[in-house]
Each structure stands twice: as structure tokens, then as C-alpha cells.
């Protein structure tokens, strides 16, 4: 059995690659980072250090590595004969990996079982995004790829911080993980991946994960950044930050319970478990990593505007989420390209235009004015600071 995995970074090596390896797949990592690919190509194995309660070390071997920029022909051949293709490259990168995936699918021999494609990104229905990109390629014209691939949405959850430069390919991860996969596209042929859970209805799980784990984690990052703290564990140890994060998760809980029918007790237990994961003192994680890409995180269906908009549509003023959105607008990490772009938008557009551009909210939406006020406040703050 063979899997081609795009993105040999933190989640690629520390989670998806590990589970596929443990399931018995030979893993072909594809990445654009030449140094990383060279290291993987030269290595026989790497270690995944799981830290926290019940720490463990797992070894991943039986892998190869290809540079997806310079070894496209080889990659197409691998995809043409693979059982699974997964990605963990970031939702905005899916459009760049779609062409080679389309060519690989087109090159599959007739009669071969359909390729099982799963995008493992933090975004609602990321695989649908990838499927649309693949479907828009010339190779897919006339439905040519339809019988040759299955696309299944997934929700992936494991905190994998940035790794120390000195530790080579080894990855330090938390012990917890969850990989939930939509069963329906497989029609009975789902792969056997120990540790992955197949469900008939993914939407509640994906929203619960994004609007609890990711909303909470990113809130801790932005409130922590605002408080001048560096590490996520320090942010969570700060009483004000911890209370603000808790309040945000109270609001998303309200939405998730009423929208998806999770019981209040069940959601509370989920929240408690997640708050404990954020405080894991063995995991060296930073507010800058967790807060990365604020424009993506502030976009329309993401972890802040998504639940806040739905609450506003239900007549609730999401005060705590608005507090987190205000903190996100202040995330001005100079090393983060999206934070710089965000600052540029705030500096050059009216509050209403900037709100529409950053959040995708329509001016008539019940959340729009509240966010626009926050944008205006942030603009005034920056203007005062630079006067």
C-alpha cells in the first residue's frame, strides 16, 4: 500500500505521515522545501516524540521523498500508482498542489481502484476545495477523472508546534490526536487507518473542532500576544487571558449545542479537555505560531467570524468573540506576512471597506457594524501611536 503525502512539515511528519505509516502504507512525502526533502530522502527513519500524559516515542520508516517542484514527472508516477493522497500544506496552498494531483489521477490505469484523496487542513471541507481545483484542470475535462478518484473531507486535530532547528526530522507532538473522516464518499471501501474515525456526518465534528480547538487556541494566541506573552502555556497561565478564552468558548459552546445538538455536558467536557491541552507544559508552543495567518483566521467561515456571525444571526451579541477579533486585529507580528498585509489594509482603507475585505461580511449583516467599530478603534489606535 502506498500513500503520497503533500507537506512534510509539522502535521505531515508528526501526524498524518505517522498514522499512514502505522497503518502499513509506504509514504512518499512531497514538499517544496528542498532542504527538508533532501533530509528525508537521505534518512531511513525519524522519531515522533509524544509529550504530555503517557509520553511515548514512535518511529516512522518506510518512506521516500520527492520535491514537488523539480520532480513532477516522478511524482505523477507515484500518484498514478498510489492508494491514498493526503495533504497538510495549508488551505491556501491547495490550488498549487492540485495540478500535479490531477495529472497523477489522469495517469492511473483504467481498472485501478479509485485514488482516495483527503486534505488534512484546518478549514471546513478543505477536500472540497482541493476537489474543485482538481476538477477545474484540463485533465478533468468531460468528467475524465470522475471514476479515478474519491475525495473525502476530514477534520484533523493534534497540536504540533514549530520544531527546534537542531532536532532534524524528529517531531515533538502532544499525545492527543483525532482524525475524523467522512465515510460517505468511500461507499464501503474506506481505508483501514488505526486511529482514524469514519463518520457518516462530518459537519458537526468539523465545526466543533474548528470552533472549539482552533477558536480557543487562536484566542489564547491573540490575547496572549496582546498581553506581551510569548508562549501559549504562559498565556493560559495568565488569569485574564484564561478567562477571556473561557468566555469565547462559552459562546461557541452555545452555538454548537443549539446548532448540532451536542449536549451541554458533552460540549463542556470537550472544552475542558481542550483547555487542558492548551496548558500542556511539555509542549513548547508560541503565540506567534498559533496566531499565524490572521487574515485566514479572520475570514468569513473561519474560527472567529464564522461562529460570531451565526450567533449574531440568532440575535446573540458575541461579546467575547468580538474581544478575540479585536485582539486578532492587533496581532502585528512583523515576521508574519498576513499580519503585515492586515496592517496595510487597516492603514489604507475606510473602516467599512477594511471590515468587508478582512472578514468577508456583507455590510447588512448583523455582525458587520460591531466588527467595523473594532476596526475603526484599531485604526485610531495605530494613528495615535504613529502621530
| Identified binder of ligand NAI from the candidate list 3, 4, 5, 9, rule CB under 6 A | 9
Looking at 67-153, list the stretches that DSSP marks H as alpha helix, in order from N- to C-terminal side. 72-80, 94-106, 126-135
Kindly state whether residue 97 participates in binding ligand NAI, applying the rule CB under 6 A: yes
Q: Which helix (H) or strand (E) holds 387?
A: none
| Identified binder of ligand F6P from the candidate list 108, 231, 253, 292, rule CB under 6 A | 292
Query: What residues form the annotated binding site for NAD(+)?
Result: 3-14
Residue 80 vs 354, nearer CB to ligand NAI? 80
What residue 252 binds from ligand NAI, ligand F6P, none (CB within 5 to 8 A, per partner kind)?
Answer: none
Kindly state whether residue 108 participates in binding ligand F6P, applying the rule CB under 6 A: no
CB of 10 to ligand F6P, least distance (A): 8
- The CA–CA distances, whole Å, from 213 to 166, 249, 252 equal 29, 9, 10
Residue 292 vs 365, nearer CB to ligand F6P? 292
- Distance in angstroms (rounded) separating the CA atoms of residues 47 and 61: 9
DSSP 169: T
Kindly state whether residue 68 participates in binding ligand NAI, applying the rule CB under 6 A: yes
DSSP character string of 109-171 = PTTSPPEEEEE--SSTTHHHHHHHHHHTSGGGGGGTTGGGEEE--EEEE---PPPPGGGTT-E
| Cell numbers at 241, concatenated | 487571558
Kindly state whether residue 159 participates in binding ligand F6P, applying the rule CB under 6 A: yes
Contacts of residue 248, defined as CB under 8 A and 6 or more positions apart, other chains included, come to 215, 216, 219, 320, 321, 323, 324
Phi, psi of 280 (to 5 degrees): -50, 105
- Distance in angstroms (rounded) separating the CA atoms of residues 192 and 292: 33
Binding string, 67-106, against ligand F6P, x = CB under 6 A?
A: ----------------------------------------
Instruction: Kindly determine how many residues on this chain lie close enough to bind ligand F6P according to the rule CB under 6 A.
Output: 8
What residue 68 binds from ligand F6P, ligand NAI, none (CB within 5 to 8 A, per partner kind)?
Answer: ligand NAI
Kindly state whether residue 290 participates in binding ligand F6P, applying the rule CB under 6 A: yes
Q: Is 342 helix (H, G, I), strand (E, B) or coil?
A: helix
Give residues 23-42 in contact with ligand NAI (rule: CB under 6 A).
30-33, 36
- Residue whose C-alpha is closest to residue 208's, from 279, 263, 260: 260
Kindly state whether residue 283 participates in binding ligand NAI, applying the rule CB under 6 A: no
- Candidates 77-85, 184-192, 211-219, 321-329; binding stretch for ligand F6P (CB under 6 A): 211-219
| Contacts to ligand NAI by CB under 6 A | 6-12, 30-33, 36, 68, 88-91, 93, 96-97, 121-122, 156, 158-160
| Contacts to ligand F6P by CB under 6 A | 122, 157, 159, 213-214, 217, 290, 292
Amino acid at each position: 500500500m502506498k500513500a503520497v503525502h503533500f507537506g512534510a512539515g509539522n502535521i505531515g511528519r508528526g501526524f498524518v505521515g505517522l498514522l499512514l505509516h502505522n497503518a502499513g502504507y509506504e509514504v512518499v512525502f512531497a514538499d517544496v522545501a528542498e532542504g527538508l526533502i533532501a533530509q528525508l530522502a537521505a534518512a531511513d527513519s525519524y522519531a515522533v516524540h509524544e509529550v504530555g500524559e503517557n509520553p511515548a516515542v514512535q518511529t516512522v520508516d518506510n518512506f521516500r521523498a520527492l520535491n514537488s517542484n523539480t520532480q513532477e514527472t516522478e511524482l505523477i508516477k507515484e500518484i498514478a500508482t498510489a492508494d491514498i493522497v493526503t495533504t497538510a500544506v495549508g488551505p491556501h496552498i491547495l490550488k498549487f498542489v492540485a495540478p500535479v494531483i490531477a495529472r497523477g489521477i489522469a495517469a492511473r490505469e483504467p481498472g485501478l481502484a479509485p485514488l482516495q484523496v483527503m486534505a488534512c487542513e484546518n478549514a471546513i471541507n478543505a477536500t472540497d476545495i482541493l476537489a474543485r481545483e482538481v476538477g477545474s484542470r484540463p485533465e478533468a475535462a468531460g468528467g475524465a477523472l470522475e471514476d479515478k478518484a474519491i475525495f473525502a473531507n476530514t477534520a484533523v486535530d493534534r497540536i504540533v508546534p514549530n520544531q527546534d532547528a537542531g532536532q532534524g526530522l524528529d517531531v515533538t507532538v502532544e499525545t492527543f490526536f483525532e482524525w475524523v473522516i467522512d465515510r460517505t464518499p468511500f461507499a464501503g471501501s474506506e481505508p483501514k487507518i488505526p486511529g482514524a474515525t469514519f463518520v457518516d456526518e462530518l459537519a458537526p465534528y468539523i465545526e466543533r473542532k474548528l470552533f472549539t480547538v482552533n477558536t480557543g487556541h487562536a484566542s489564547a494566541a491573540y490575547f496572549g500576544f496582546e498581553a506581551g506573552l510569548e508562549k501559549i502555556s504562559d498565556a493560559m497561565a495568565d488569569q485574564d487571558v484564561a478567562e477571556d478564552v473561557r468566555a469565547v468558548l462559552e459562546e461557541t459552546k452555545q452555538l454548537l449545542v443549539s446548532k448540532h445538538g451536542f449536549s451541554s455536558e458533552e460540549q463542556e467536557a470537550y472544552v475542558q479537555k481542550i483547555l487542558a491541552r492548551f496548558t500542556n507544559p511539555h509542549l513548547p508552543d508560541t503565540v506567534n505560531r498559533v496566531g499565524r495567518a490572521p487574515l485566514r483566521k479572520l475570514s468569513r467561515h473561519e474560527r472567529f467570524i464564522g461562529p460570531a456571525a451565526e450567533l449574531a444571526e440568532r440575535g446573540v451579541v458575541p461579546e467575547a468573540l468580538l474581544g478575540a477579533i479585536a485582539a486578532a486585529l492587533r496581532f502585528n507580528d512583523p515576521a508574519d506576512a498576513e499580519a503585515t498585509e492586515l496592517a496595510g489594509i487597516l492603514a489604507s482603507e475606510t473602516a467599512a471597506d477594511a471590515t468587508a475585505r478582512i472578514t468577508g461580511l456583507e455590510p447588512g449583516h448583523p455582525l458587520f457594524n460591531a466588527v467595523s467599530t473594532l476596526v475603526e478603534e484599531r485604526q485610531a489606535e495605530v494613528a495615535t501611536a504613529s502621530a
